[in-house]
């Protein structure tokens, strides 16, 4: 569920274009943040009505696309301009790419695995098969198992 419908966004952009009073005046009329109005207007100017349409799924951007966006920013452009130019709906997406790139370089922009990791395998017992044990090892294991059995019997009795 999106907060604003596509028709509402289009109404805001058209009002901004007709009135020419600026983003702050349009934002006050519709009860929005002026930055949101600027973002919608820029996306509309760059991509038309398609720039305002809410996507159903979160898009997956490849590493080359992310690097291209970061190069665009290196040319002195703003994040808002990059969002409009590349039709990226959220500014925080680009901010996260910048942070990850600064911390780990191009490899940090590669897709990360989603969801939980695989289950850990249960530890394998450090037991040898009985045929491979020496008589001392068998006697030690027998003493351990007897002690464990006695402990469990004691717990059950109390």
What is the rounded distance in angstroms from the CA atom of residue 79 to the CA atom of residue 73? Answer: 7
DSSP assignment, residue 56? S
Share of the chain above pLDDT 90, in %: 29
For residue 158, name the pLDDT band (cuts at 50, 70, 90): confident
- Please tell me the predicted confidence (pLDDT) of residue 143: 94
Q: Which residue has the higher pLDDT, 58 or 51?
A: 51
pTM above 0.75, yes or no: no
- End-to-end, the C-alpha distance of the chain in Å comes to 59
For residue 155, name the pLDDT band (cuts at 50, 70, 90): confident
Q: Is the pLDDT of residue 45 over 90?
A: no
Polymer length in residues for the chain = 158
Longest pairwise C-alpha distance within the chain: 96
Please check whether residue 95 is in contact with residue 78, taking contact to mean a CB–CB distance below 8 angstroms.
Answer: no
Q: Is the pLDDT of residue 75 over 90?
A: yes
Q: What is the mean pLDDT of residues 45-69?
A: 81
Residue 90, SS3 per DSSP: coil
CB count within 10 Å of CB 24 equals 13
Nearest to 3 by CA among 25, 50, 26, 36: 36
* Burial readout 97-107 (b: 16 or more C-beta within 10 A, e: otherwise): beebbeeeeee
What is the rounded distance in angstroms from the CA atom of residue 146 to the CA atom of residue 125? Answer: 18
CB count within 10 Å of CB 25 equals 14
């Amino acid at each position: 569920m999106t907060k604003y419908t596509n028709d509402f966004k289009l109404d805001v952009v058209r009002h901004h274009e007709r009135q020419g009073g600026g983003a702050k005046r349009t934002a006050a009329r519709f009860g929005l943040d002026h930055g949101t109005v600027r973002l919608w207007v820029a996306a509309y100017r760059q991509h038309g009505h398609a720039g305002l349409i809410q996507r159903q799924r979160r898009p997956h951007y490849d590493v080359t696309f992310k690097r291209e966006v970061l190069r665009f920013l290196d040319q002195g452009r703003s994040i808002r301009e990059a969002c409009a130019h590349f039709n990226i709906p959220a500014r925080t997406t680009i901010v996260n790419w910048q942070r990850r790139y600064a911390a780990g370089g191009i490899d940090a922009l590669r897709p990360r695995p989603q969801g939980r990791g695989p289950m850990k395998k249960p530890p394998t017992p450090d037991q040898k098969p009985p045929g491979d044990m020496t008589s001392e090892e068998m006697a030690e294991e027998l003493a351990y198992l007897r002690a464990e059995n006695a402990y469990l019997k004691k717990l059950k009795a109390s």
